[in-house]
A and B are shown apart, each in its own frame.
Chain A
Amino acid sequence: MWSSCWTYSLNLSSVPGDGDSQSRWCLSQVKGAVDDDVAEADIISAVEFNHSGELLATGDRGGRIVIFQQEQESKNLPQCHAEYNVYSTFQSHEPEFDYLKSLEIEEKINKIRWLPQKNAAHFLLSTNDKTIKLWKISERDKRPEGYNLKEEDGRYRHPSSLTTLRVPVFQPMDLMVEASPRRVYANAHTYHINSISVNSDNETYLSADDLRINLWHLDFTDRSFNIVDIKPANMEELTEVITASEFHPLQCNTFVYGSSKGSVRLCDMRASALCDQHSKLFEEPEDPSTRSFFSEIISSISDVKFSHSGRYMMTRDYLTLKIWDLHMESRPVEIYQVHGYLRSKLCSLYENDCIFDKFECCWRGDDSEVMTGSYNNFFRMFDRDAQRDATLEATWENGSPGCPLKTWRVSAGSRRKRNEIGVDCLDFSRKILYTSWHPQDNIVALATVNNLYIFQEKLN
């Protein structure tokens, strides 16, 4: 089934000139190996631009972090933004074993978050299931030269030849980028960490696992404060887990967390030290007519993101993307169907576990558009003002860099027009879970299985 669909799409793409189905987005770069044989460790599990957009970090299941840097000036394609090239690669997490609980701790990077820049170096937080680390990425272009008792190549000089003292001198050298671990925040989570988020006060951050949220000071690794704890006294009474959490971008005392039941709670840290009592609950009343076995699973929040302005909040559940006004708890102000056509396929998606996929979502720099991923290497863009949406495909096979992406349609019926694909032909093994939008420019980065795609809007 997979291969026949693929051929079909190739045929479609060779049809020339279809103005309507062209988007303003074009492929900029693809990173990662192109062969079909993908090592588990190479599967990307996090994508994140830094606050200036100059750097782009990816984390993978092998515990590695690769940082790409945007080139200063693009010479060859003046109409395009500069390319991103590898800046630094390092091993952030190693596989570990918890001997007390007989549990393997995977090295997979669950989240990456950049810190606001504080000096010439860059800092990021990375986390696997249990341990959060603070990394410093810095440049070095000088090194000391001159020894008293040996030559620069290491040969020893006889002490008797010592007639005068020599102080080493720094000499220029080729630029070297170093990543060094600065802090390790460990042993605070019993369950798997799903989110980390840096506070706007620049000195604290939160980390959330299935049942608890902890607050850390960046300078202290030996203590954190528990600010949310939803663990019931009896674990058999557990009905809900925390799935995502984020700080408000401007208000230092506000954070939200989403749950597996589809609700989002907003907490005010001013009110009390322990935020078990939320101050707002964003929840949409369930529609009894569509209730099914899968209702709760598909309403689980897989990601929650504040808009840059701090006025809105976006939540992603399995089938939809919802935008909430922080002033209105009763219902979202906008709802976007990401792939509503899957509603009829929930049974098979449950069987192959796809229904538990956790899709991320992201805002455009000016909050006017949002993006999230889907299956078959499709990703969805929603223009909030124009109420327009597009389905685009992350692929390098039918277009060269700079060539506009065409838009797709997924149809339920058997008859297909150009640029249409049947629901049954979708490849569920190829999914786009992780996405990030450049904070200022219209550049997006997203991860397919082991490839990083960078797309950009055409500049005129």
Chain B
Amino acid sequence: MAGADSDDSLYPIAVLIDELRNEDVQLRLNSIKKLSTIALALGVERTRTELLPFLTDTIYDEDEVLLALAEQLGNFTMLVGGPEYVHCLLPPLESLATVEETVVRDKAVESLRKISHEHSPVDLEVHFEPLVKRLASGDWFTSRTSACGLFSVCYPRVSSTVKAEIRQHFRTLCSDDTPMVRRAAASKLGEFAKVLELEYVKSDIISLFTALASDEQDSVRLLAVEAGVSIATLLPQEDLEALVMPTLRQAAEDKSWRVRYMVADKFSDLQKAVGPEITKNDLVPAFQNLLKDCEAEVRAAAANKVKEFCENLPEDSRETIIMTHILPCVKELVSDTNQHVKSALASVIMGLSTILGKDNTIEHLLPLFLAQLKDECPEVRLNIISNLDCVNEVIGIRQLSQSLLPAIVELAEDAKWRVRLAIIEYMPLLAGQLGVEFFDEKLNSLCMAWLVDHVYAIREAATCNLMKLVEKFGAEWAQNTIVPKVLGMANDPNYLHRMTTLFCINALSEVCGQEITTKHMLPVVLKMSNDQVANVRFNVAKSLQKIGPVLDSSCLQTEVKPVLEKLASDQDMDVKYFAQEAISGEFCNCCS
């Protein structure tokens, strides 16, 4: 069919190229994702002279196409002829680095950073560094923000004159008119500091950091906090106090809660960066203040860090600091007015017991755990319950069980089904920690009650929960405690409950093993094939398929097959369908 001089192998590539400008975004995206195939077919020469110029002008496209393009170009070095020609990729990436969409710009910068390593030192100065300068002095702030992310990759590899220029450009961007650019500079300050010589960190970076940390825009100041942490790791201990701490202290007391929030959020990193001495003298009071902050968001962020902060305190004074400085604040947070603060605390407070040891836990922490177990907000209680394992290791769970039980019961009966769902998910964990006796006595009835919950998601979770419990306590336990109750539901007047029996059997048959399944469960399932509700009948068919692998083949042939065949001639279409499915599934796989 093809003409003598035409090449069949060109056709798929021709389609890909044409679809680069198809009206359908999905097709364009598809072509862009196969850009390497196109480039390979064109060869390095035509890729450089034709494809790249075309791509450079393609910045009108949809974001997702541009994003894919920006990503592709980061891996294009070999396709344009190797490191020698890698600079050809700069023009398209430069135009992508100026679009308004942040994700596209960020991806373009990421690719530029990637290919910067493939530039030879000469090319870096001849091609890459001028691009950075162009972006840095661009008219629009989109290009200037992109420039901020590129300084750190070229700085280590250029001559000292160019280094001086780069520092100057970075300085300029740190005091740019638009907050967008100052934010970009602030967020890259730490990274840039890492590649600078220590003398310039002290002379340049510190002053930029101080300026950004006192910027009029809250959004700039809060980014400077993170930079401060990075800078602190670079400086020798003796310089920290003079160069960084005044600014960080000021940030921890900033008028804007968003800045203080950032300090709280980064507190563990900060603690590691400044070392034990400053932690003791400065960070402990600062942390206390954050735990007592007037804004709930800040308190919640700080509460989240309580455990980590305590863990990282210097060992020699850890206990004293916690007992005298941190614990009083924590006590107050237990009865905070804001539920997010309380629940943030509840998610970490149990961790303190391993740090403080048995006696302190019983004396000081236990009352707090108990108070939180009785909290009005279900999330707080849930967070405590979900972290019981920490306490279990230190004091054993028995200490808590008196209060634990009412808390669990209350959550199990909460009006919000999502709360009930959450507590169900912790049941296997609790069962493991409380032991089988306690469980049988107190919790078993709850687990069974969930099986007849009026919300399907709860019934479903309850079945899954039973399976996990059997995995923990064994098949014998199952046979004695839960199987009779589950099977009893097969006679329930409510067809939904009868179906729950089937769902439970689906989940339990494998963990219970062949004997229990054949002896106890199968008869019930088979009997239910006569149910008057079609939904039950087709679920019987599904169940039979599901438990088939557990049964032996003679049982399948003599007991299961006749029932399925009967169901396959049921009046109801769905029942017929699922019965046939089961027959073909089971008897093709097992018996052939």
Contact = CB atoms under 8 A, between A and B. Distances in A.
Contacts of A163: 5-7, 10
Contacts of B6: 159-163
B584 interface: no
Nearest to B105: A119
Contacts of B100: 118-119, 121, 123, 136, 182
Interface stretch (A27-35, A267-275, A403-411): A267-275
Interface stretch (B11-19, B367-375, B421-429, B432-440): B11-19
B257 A270 contact: yes
B250 interface: no
Interface string B452-493: 000000000000000000000000000000000000000000
A251 B54 contact: no
B200 interface: no
A272 B257 contact: yes
Contacts of B236: none
Nearest to A121: B100
Interface stretch (B264-272, B294-302, B341-349, B561-569): B294-302
B54 A252 contact: no
Nearest to B5: A163
A440 interface: no
A335 B218 CA distance: 34
B50 interface: yes
A169 B5 CA distance: 25
Interface string B90-134: 000000001111100000000000000000000000000000000
Contact of B218 (A116, A144, A252): A252
Secondary structure of the A side of the interface? loop
B217 interface: yes
Nearest to B50: A167
B179 A138 contact: no
Interface residues of B, number: 51
Contacts of B21: 144, 147, 168
A105 to B, nearest CB: 27
A459 interface: no
A120 B138 CA distance: 11
Contact of A202 (B50, B178, B294, B296): B178
Contact of B180 (A121, A168, A182, A203): A203
B218 A253 contact: yes
A255 to B, nearest CB: 13
Interface string A165-209: 111111000000000001000000000000000001111000000
A148 B257 contact: no
Interface string A138-170: 101010100111100000000111111111111
A119 B51 contact: no
A202 to B, nearest CB: 5
A219 interface: yes
A182 B141 CA distance: 19
A161 B4 CA distance: 10
Contacts, number: 126
A118 B218 contact: no
Contacts of B42: 165, 167
Nearest to B4: A160
A117 B60 CA distance: 17
B54 A170 contact: yes
Contact of B54 (A148, A165, A167, A201): A167
Nearest to B297: A273
Contacts of B7: 162-163
Interface string B150-162: 0000000000000
A123 B100 CA distance: 10
A118 B3 contact: no
B20 interface: yes
A167 B295 contact: no
A82 B201 CA distance: 51
B506 interface: no
A136 B142 CA distance: 15
Given A119-B140, A142-B57, A167-B42, A202 B14 contact: no
B197 interface: no
B256 interface: yes
Contacts of B296: 272-273
Contacts of A252: 179, 216-219
B416 interface: no
A165 B14 contact: yes
A419 B261 CA distance: 62
Contacts of A170: 53-54, 57
Interface in B477-522: none
A167 B57 CA distance: 13
A142 B54 CA distance: 11
Nearest to A138: B60
B218 to A, nearest CB: 6
Given A119-B140, A165-B42, A270-B257, A160 B17 contact: no
Contacts of A168: 17, 20-21, 54
B18 A202 contact: no
A152 to B, nearest CB: 11
B465 to A, nearest CB: 32
B1 interface: yes
Contacts of B46: 165, 167
Interface in B11-33: 11, 13-15, 17-18, 20-21
A118 B142 contact: yes
A169 B54 contact: yes
B178 A116 contact: yes
Interface string B251-282: 00011111000000000000000000000000
Interface in A100-130: 116-121, 123
B588 interface: no
Given A144-B54, A165-B13, A170-B53, 18 more contacts: A118-B180, A136-B100, A138-B60, A144-B57, A149-B18, A159-B14, A165-B14, A168-B17, A170-B57, A182-B100, A200-B217, A201-B218, A203-B179, A203-B219, A251-B216, A252-B179, A253-B256, A269-B256
Interface of A: 116-121, 123, 136, 138, 140, 142, 144, 147-150, 159-170, 182, 200-203, 219, 250-253, 269-273
Q: Which 6 A-B pairs have the closest CB atoms?
A: A148-B14, A270-B256, A160-B3, A167-B50, A119-B140, A170-B57
